[in-house]
C-alpha cells in the first residue's frame, strides 16, 4: 500500500477514508470523508477523529484495533454530523502497529432529503475535463489575439471566461474545499450575464424577463449558482424551447427540506419546450439519468446538489409546452 499522502488514487476515491495514529488523531483524511465531516483535509490533520465524527465510542474501538491487531466493522454507528445525528457503517483496519485505516459509509436513509450520490462521480469527471478545458482556453486566446473583428474578440473572451469558470469548478471538485464560497450575489446581474451566454449560442431561444424589481441581493457562490442556471437554460434549448422566461419572486413560508424559512428567493427558468418525458419524472435529479442519447446525466444532479448545499432546493413542474424549474434559496443564510 502506498503512503496515503502520496496516493492520488486514494484522494480521488468517493469512499470516506482516514488514517489515524496511536493517539486517535488524524494523520491523513481524503476529500470524500472531509465532505461528510464538513472539514477540510488539512484542517482535520492532528484532530481526534472521534471528536470530528462526534462519536465518543470510536476512541476505544480504535485503541482495540491496534491492541488486538485485527479489524472491526461497526454497523450503524451514531455520528453527530452537521447538527443532527446520522448513522454510518465504519470499518477499522490496522495498517501497522501504529496506524489504523478508517472507512466511513453514511447510510443512505440518513442522507439529507433530495441529496444525490454524485460527489465521487463529479471528481472523476472533473479530472477528465481539465486538460480539454486548458486546450479550449488556449485556442480561444489565440483567436482573440489574431482576429480583427471586435465581436469575434468578444466571443473569444466569453469562451475564455467560461473555460476559466469551469476550470475553477473542476479544481473545487478535485480539491473539494468543502462548503460553497458564500458572498453577495446580485441576482438580476447574474441573470443578465446568463442571458448573454444563452443568446450567444447557435439557434438560441428568445429570452424574456419577469423580474421582481424589489428583490434584494442574495448570498451564495456566484459561480456555482451560474452553473445551475446555465444547466437549466441549456436543457430548455435542447428540449426544443423557442422562448425561455427568467422569473424572480420572493416566496414566504417556503418549505426547504425539513424546515420552513420565513422567505425564500425563487428563480424560475420557464420554457415552452417538449417537457420532461414521463419515464424520467421520478428519477430526473439522479446522476447518469438523461433524456438525450448524448447526455451525461450530470447536469441536473449537480444542479440539485448545489441548491442543497446553499440550504435551498431545485424543483420542477412540466407538461408539453410549459416546463418550470424553480431554484429556491433562503433569504437568510443559516449555519447548520
Most trustworthy range by pLDDT among 60-69, 162-171, 281-290, 310-319 = 60-69
Q: How confident is the prediction for the chain on average, in pLDDT? A: 79
pLDDT bin (cut points 50, 70, 90) of residue 246 is: very high
Contacts of 147 (CB under 8 A, 6+ apart): 153, 156
- Closest by CA to 107, choosing from 13, 178, 36, is 36
- Residue 94's pLDDT band, with cuts at 50, 70 and 90, is very high
Position 89 scores a pLDDT of: 83
5 falls in which pLDDT band (50, 70, 90)? very low
Contact 102, 49 (CB under 8 A): yes
Rounded to a whole number of angstroms, the distance between the first and last alpha carbons of the chain is 37
Asked if residue 308 lies in contact with residue 112, where contact means CB atoms within 8 angstroms, the answer is yes
Q: What is the pLDDT of residue 79?
A: 80
Residue 305 reports pLDDT greater than 70 = yes
Whether residue 58 has pLDDT greater than 50: yes
Residue 283 grid cell: 428519477
- Top mean-pLDDT range of 7-16, 155-164, 169-178, 256-265: 155-164
Q: Between residues 293 and 258, which one has the greater pLDDT? A: 258
Question: pLDDT for 184-229, tens place per residue?
Answer: 888 999 999 998 888 888 788 899 999 998 888 888 888 889 989 9
Measured CA to CA, the distance from residue 59 to residue 62 in angstroms comes to 5
pLDDT, average across residues 137-155:
88
Comparison of pLDDT for 168 and 245, the residue scoring more: 245
Amino acid at each position: 500500500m502506498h503512503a496515503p499522502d502520496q496516493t492520488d488514487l486514494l484522494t480521488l476515491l468517493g469512499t470516506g477514508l482516514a488514517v489515524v495514529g496511536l493517539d486517535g488523531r488524524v494523520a491523513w483524511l481524503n476529500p470524500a470523508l472531509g465532505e461528510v465531516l464538513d472539514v477540510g483535509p488539512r484542517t482535520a490533520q492532528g484532530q481526534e477523529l472521534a471528536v470530528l465524527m462526534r462519536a465518543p465510542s470510536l476512541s476505544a474501538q480504535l485503541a482495540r484495533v491496534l491492541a488486538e491487531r485485527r479489524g472491526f466493522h461497526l454497523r450503524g454507528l451514531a455520528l453527530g454530523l452537521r447538527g443532527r445525528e446520522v448513522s454510518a457503517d465504519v470499518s477499522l483496519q490496522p495498517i501497522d502497529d501504529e496506524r489504523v485505516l478508517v472507512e466511513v459509509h453514511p447510510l443512505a436513509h440518513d442522507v439529507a432529503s433530495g441529496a444525490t450520490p454524485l460527489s465521487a462521480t463529479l471528481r472523476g469527471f472533473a479530472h477528465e475535463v481539465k486538460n480539454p478545458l486548458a486546450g479550449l482556453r488556449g485556442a480561444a486566446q489565440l483567436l482573440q489575439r489574431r482576429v480583427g473583428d471586435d465581436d469575434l474578440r468578444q466571443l473569444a473572451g466569453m469562451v475564455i471566461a467560461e473555460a476559466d469558470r469551469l476550470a475553477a469548478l473542476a479544481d473545487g471538485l478535485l480539491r473539494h474545499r468543502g462548503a460553497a464560497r458564500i458572498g453577495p450575489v446580485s441576482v438580476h446581474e447574474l441573470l443578465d450575464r446568463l442571458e448573454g451566454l444563452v443568446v450567444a449560442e447557435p439557434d438560441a431561444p428568445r429570452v424574456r424577463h419577469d423580474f421582481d424589481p424589489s428583490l434584494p441581493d442574495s448570498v451564495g457562490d456566484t459561480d456555482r449558482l451560474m452553473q445551475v442556471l446555465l444547466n437549466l437554460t441549456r436543457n430548455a434549448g435542447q428540449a426544443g424551447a423557442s422562448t425561455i422566461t427568467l422569473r424572480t419572486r420572493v416566496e414566504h413560508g417556503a418549505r426547504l427540506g425539513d424546515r420552513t424559512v420565513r422567505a425564500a428567493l425563487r428563480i424560475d427558468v420557464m420554457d415552452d419546450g417538449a417537457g420532461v418525458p414521463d419515464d424520467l419524472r421520478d428519477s430526473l435529479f439522479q446522476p447518469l439519468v438523461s433524456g438525450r442519447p448524448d447526455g451525461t446525466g450530470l447536469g441536473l444532479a449537480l444542479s440539485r446538489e448545489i441548491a442543497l448545499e446553499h440550504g435551498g432546493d431545485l424543483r420542477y413542474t412540466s407538461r408539453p409546452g410549459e416546463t418550470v424549474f424553480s431554484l429556491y434559496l433562503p433569504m437568510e443564510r443559516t449555519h447548520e
